[in-house]
Amino acid sequence: MKKQIVAVEDVYVPVQRRQTLDPQKVQALAESMLAKGQEAPILVRADGKRFVLIEGLHRLEACKTLRKTTVSVYLVQARKH
């Protein structure tokens, strides 16, 4: 996997993922990102011109909280069933 930088606004979060959001985790990650930067990229898959979040909801939301315009991602292949 190769690390890439993408626009935060290009990452789509599925509705099921949003239900697991913990605001306290987001705040703690945002504080950590202020001090150290984003240490672990989120996982996304390509879907046309956007990216669908696979893993890293709290990191993505922390970036949004900090008003960052970009996020580090690993692009993964969608599973073929």
pLDDT tens for residues 31-50?
Answer: 999 999 999 999 999 998 99
**Backbone phi, psi, residue 67, to 5°:** 60, 35
Sign of CA dihedral 1, 4, 8, 58: positive
β-bridge pairing 3-7 and 42-47: unpaired
Mention every residue, 6+ apart, whose C-beta is less than 8 A from residue 27: 62, 65
- How far is residue 42's CA from residue 26's CA, in Å, rounded to a whole number? 14
Q: What is the pTM of this model?
A: 0.89
Q: Under CATH, which number does the domain 3-75 receive?
A: 3.90.1530.10
- How far is residue 7's CA from residue 43's CA, in Å, rounded to a whole number? 14
Residue segments in the chain with a per-residue pLDDT below the cut of 50:
none
**Domain spans in the chain, listed from the N-terminal domain onward:** 3-75
